[in-house]
Amino acid sequence: MNVVLGYGMVALFFAGVLLTLRLHRQHDADFTDYAVGGRSFGSGYQTMSVLNTWFPGSVFIADAGLAAGSGVIGFHLLIYGLFAYLLMYLMSRRVWMWGARHGLRTQSDLFGLRYGGTSSRTVPALIQVLVNFPMTVIGMQAMGLIFFYISFGHLSYSQSVLAGVLVLVARQFWTVRMGMRGVVVTDFYQGMIAYVFGSVLLVGLIVYLVAQGHGFAHLPVEALSLPVDGGGSGGLYLFALTFTGSVGGWCLSGMFVRLFTADGVRSVKRSAVLAMPCSLVFAGLLLTAALLSGTLPGVSDNPDHALFTLGERIGGPWVIIAIALCVLAAQIGMADGVLQSVGTLISNDLVAVYRPMNDKGRLVTAKISIAVYTVAAALVANIGLSNLITLSIMAYQGVVQLAVPQFLGLFWKRGNRIGTVAGTVVGFCVAAGLSAAYPTSIPWLDGLTSGVVGMALNLVVYVGCAYAFPQDAAERGRVDGLFAATAVAAPSAVPGEAVSAPPEPTQA
């Protein structure tokens, strides 16, 4: 009976997703409309869209598990999220205005506009396609955990992974059809379940823990200590986690594209401001519940399952199902955004730059790319390969290398294409190499992560090339014009109205 109840609630959840998509069905005017949802969403949709990408289902599992197993160091999720929203506010004006004025569709489009040339677009796009793959696989395997618990023993874990993957693959049918517009509108529905209902649920879990004698007073001293004394992972480990988390989120294509879907600069800024308290409340409650659950029997053996273990202790299927639905809603939103952005990147920045095509061709290529990428990730997820978590960590250390040309390019005119490509490649290779030897932190660097080391070398190359290969007069004038344009009023972005296509890149 419990398994029927669990899968029945999942079916009801997806019925709500389909109803939301049906109510917001709208024909895309062109490929830009498909890629960025017509730049038509206000701050409410933007806020929930950002949250549904920033807090995927893994935060209920991996991040909660870190707090349950290692203590307050898990609260770095809350801290770096607040810094990330500050970055969102600061870069919103230039990113959105350049996007609207030049018809930008992807993060790589922005690189191509700022630095010129083909390589400045294709290198970031290729990195995104590579690093998002293990993250997509991990997300599919997280779906397996959801279906395992709501099966109440009727499915093995491998069978549950297969069920979760099949559901996620089926969901992509609507992502392929509706593009980014469908992703954003369902983000709102999914976010209400994951973060609004989820916050209420977490309050209940915390009250239960405190009432059962598992309050803060019962936590061991180790759980309330940070690794800042040079022991454990090293004194700089917490700094490295927080720093790369803050800048790295905006290096992910599925996150960055949210800046283009807004209907104006004001909506982006308002969503950044609104996301801060929402994030503070939700993440604070999640990590507190996980931290307190660390004192329960069995949690230390498998901290990633902390919330589900807590649900089982409370008893009754409804708590398990409620937790599973929150994780499902958060994970679906993340998966949709990643797959949609990757499909657009492949079409727009890896195929169309070498083989020019019209909007219909770009649309077909993007949809085929999403389908192939999804099926490939599903096959790998079902193989059950080991070390995918390590591969995912390595991938994140690689993608943060885009932060150097991205943020400096938005606020410093001197950076050039040579420094962007060379610095990114050097940083990515160094980060990948060090990650293979030190998956979490580097002991002889007092806990710094491979991503921070890569970014430091990346920065040296980027700045060095800016002075060693100064821009010529034409390029300097072009860049000056881009920066000057953001000092005037932004153009309107009417839903469904086509904006000018991005200029065709010159060969590097």
For the chain, report the end-to-end CA distance as a whole number of angstroms: 62
| Contact status, residue 29 vs residue 496, Cβ threshold 8 Å | yes
* pLDDT for residue 392 is more than 80: no
Q: What is the pLDDT of residues 486-502, one digit of tens each?
A: 875 544 444 433 344 44
pLDDT of residue 352: 92
Q: What is the pLDDT of residues 19-64, one digit of tens each?
A: 998 888 777 778 888 889 989 899 999 999 999 989 988 889 888 9
List the one residue out of 95, 122, 100 whose CA is nearest residue 110. 95
Q: 425: Cβ–Cβ under 8 A, 6 or more apart, which residues?
A: 123
* 30/271: higher pLDDT: 271
Q: What is the spatial distance between Cα 15 and Cα 21, in angstroms, rounded to a whole number?
A: 10
Candidates 366, 382, 427, 431; CA nearest to 402 is 427
Q: Quick: pLDDT tens for 412-425.
A: 999 999 999 999 99
pLDDT at 121 over 50: yes
Instruction: Quote the pLDDT of residue 418.
Output: 96
Highest mean pLDDT among 183-197, 224-238, 333-347: 183-197
Please give the Cα distance from 503 to 501 (Å, whole number). Answer: 6
Backbone phi, psi, residue 442, to 5°: -105, 110
pLDDT > 70 fraction of the chain, expressed in percent and rounded: 92
3-class SS at 501?
A: coil
Amino acid at 487: A
**How far is residue 422 CA from its own chain's centroid?**
25
Burial class (CB in 10 A: 0-12, 13-18, 19+), 212: middle
Instruction: Tell which residue, 377, 386, 363, 270, has the closest CA to residue 334.
Output: 377
Burial class (CB in 10 A: 0-12, 13-18, 19+), 207: exposed
At residue 390, the pLDDT reads: 59
For residue 389, name the pLDDT band (cuts at 50, 70, 90).
low
* Lowest-confidence segment of 85-94, 129-138, 285-294, 404-413 by average pLDDT: 129-138
Model confidence at 508: pLDDT above 80: no
Give me the pLDDT at residue 139, please: 80
What pairs with residue 262 in β-bridges? 41
State the pLDDT confidence band at 210, using cuts at 50, 70 and 90: very high
Mean pLDDT score across all residues of the chain: 87
Segment 302-306 mean pLDDT = 87
User: Domains in the chain, ordered, with CATH?
Assistant: 2-25+41-389 (1.20.1730.10)
